[in-house]
Amino acid sequence: MTLPTRRCCLRQSALAHDGIKMKLSEIERIAKAAVNACLAVINHPKDSFVRERLFNSLAEVVDPAFFETDQLRRGSLNHLLRQASVWGAIVRNRIDIFRHAGSGDASAPSIQHPARDLQHVLYALLDELGGLPSVQSGSRIPRRRSG
């Protein structure tokens, strides 16, 4: 089986089960791309192009190499990787369902809401990795201030 050249990173990351772990920088790159694609779907949930872009972006998030548990990593990081993968699978499933059922106004919230939940998990993951991008204040969950 030959994989397209564009998916070379996926091909290499798929080897994680043989002992090669995905680098944190690669996880960070994948998470940033998925955050951007989530934001586009949140802002334009009826746009089939941005939904397709999110669907494709999440292929790497649901790849087992993305969330492969590494005992050397902090438990919180492993937990966030698994959460991102689960939410990514949910969003991809919703997009796929509405791709075949035909798009309509009813499909927008059922994709938009889980995409927002996934985006929050990805922000937490990027924060854990130390690579949180600068974002507009309205697109993130406000942090509660203690005191």
> 7 is written with which tokens?
């998916």
Which pLDDT value is given to residue 105? 58
Q: Rounded distance, CA 84 to CA 78, Å?
A: 10
Which pLDDT value is given to residue 74? 75
Residue range 111-132: mean pLDDT, rounded: 89
Residue range 30-43: mean pLDDT, rounded: 95
Report how far Cα 118 is from the mean position of its chain's Cα atoms: 6
**Percentage of the residues of the chain whose pLDDT score is greater than 90:** 41
Given the structure tokens 């997009």, which residue do they identify?
Answer: 95
Q: Rounded distance, CA 134 to CA 117, Å?
A: 18
Please give the mean pLDDT across all residues of the chain: 76
Which pLDDT value is given to residue 25? 86
In tens, the pLDDT along 40-97 reads 999 998 888 999 999 999 999 998 888 776 666 678 888 899 999 999 999 999 999 8
Report how far Cα 68 is from the mean position of its chain's Cα atoms: 15
- Domain ranges within the chain, ordered by starting residue: 16-130
How far apart, in Å, are the Cα atoms of 96 and each of 48, 126, 131?
Answer: 11, 26, 30
Q: Is the CB of residue 111 less than 8 Å from the CB of residue 51?
A: yes
Which pLDDT value is given to residue 81? 92
Q: Is the pLDDT of residue 17 over 70?
A: no
**Percentage of the residues of the chain whose pLDDT score is greater than 70:** 67
* Higher pLDDT among residues 117 and 16, named by residue: 117
Q: Is the pLDDT of residue 32 over 90?
A: yes
CATH no., domain 16-130: 1.20.120.230
Report how far Cα 10 is from the mean position of its chain's Cα atoms: 14
